[in-house]
Amino acid sequence: MTIADVRTTDAASAATQTMTMAGALNRALADALEDSREVLLFGEDVGKLGGVFRITDGLAARFGEDRCFDTPLAESGIVGTAVGMAMNGMRPVVEMQFDAFAYPAFEQVVSHVAKLGNRTRGAMRLPMVIRIPFGGGIGGVEHHCDSSEAYYAHTPGLTVVTPSTPQDAYSLLRAAIDSPDPVIFLEPKKLYWTKGEVDASRRTELGTARIVRDGTDLTLLAYGTAVPIALEAADAAAEEGRSVQVVDVRSLSPFDDATVTAAVRSTGRAVVIAEAPGYVSVASEIQARVSERCFEHLEAPVRKVTGFDVPFAPPKFEHWYLPDVDRVLDAIDSLRWEDE
């Protein structure tokens, strides 16, 4: 646990439970609805169906269809409605059913969601969350599997975060809903069914990275679905005598330079891992920032392992497109080791 992770003292919520990431997100939404009448959930099929991935399962029945409700298939309208609600004191949480389905709402996001606070010199804030299932690993076709994080991280005025564990799914979503400003919450759908311990009393600050595994020889920097790949690669590298540190970046904007640079300086070598294409990407930005801030500490160039610069692959070829352990190990081997 980093200094950014704190626990509340509410004994009733302190019990730790094992749940899937999907279950942790559902619990976070339910707890937010319970805590504040200002919180509303809406989107395509999030009501009676409970969402395509069942993240909102049971919430309409529990809290009523005035608090969790379905919308027309109109993403721009969904986000525009959320903007109006947030301007009038509500805390809307909207779901874009799949990553590439969000593009029709992109104009609303960049022109209004991201800019209204600045446009009014802070007089009007937008406390709203846009939940977006993103990334591959489920065998979906192109409009259902995309890594769109660079578009949002590039847009000033947006906080962009993504969890890699059930605990972070819960804690980050609660923090996002509590934020006075808009948050793009990217949910790695490949990890929806992974399980882990969740302490509902734990809170996480937005804008912070997390040290997942300690190591002394090199640092792997990852987020979302790339974090389990990094951990698996660290295990494999350990069998070859490498001590590998793993950092879950988790906050793409704002970026936690302090944690990331301290980690890389402590090892002198770094590899960035992400699913999205590498050109003009979040991964390339991390690579550049680390190279600039850690230059005098680096023993080798910072490498990156990403998806390829092509449209997302069809389901049968997905495994060729997504970063895997072998590609990460190849990048590790290229880091100018003195004993080789």
Out of 143, 144, 154, 297, pick the active-site residue. 144
Q: pLDDT tens digits for the chain (340 residues)?
A: 343 454 444 444 457 999 999 999 999 999 999 999 999 999 999 999 999 999 999 999 999 999 999 999 999 999 999 999 999 999 999 999 988 889 999 999 999 999 999 999 999 999 999 999 999 888 887 788 889 999 999 999 999 999 999 999 999 999 999 999 999 999 999 999 999 999 999 989 999 999 999 999 999 999 999 999 999 999 999 999 999 999 999 999 999 999 999 999 999 999 999 999 999 999 999 999 999 999 999 999 999 999 999 998 888 898 899 999 999 999 999 997 776 5
Alpha-carbon distance of 50 to 60, in angstroms, equals 8
Q: What share of the chain is helix, strand, coil (3-state, %, to 5)?
A: 40, 20, 40
Which is it for the CA torsion 238, 240, 246, 252, positive or negative? negative
With a CB cutoff of 8 Å and minimum separation 6, the contacts of 222 are 164, 229, 230, 246, 247, 248, 249, 272, 273, 274
Q: What single-letter amino acid sits at 151?
A: Y
Q: Is 112 a catalytic residue?
A: no
* Tokens describing residue 87: 């301007």
* Tokens describing residue 51: 């969402």
Helix axes 325-333, 226-239, angle to 10 degrees: 60
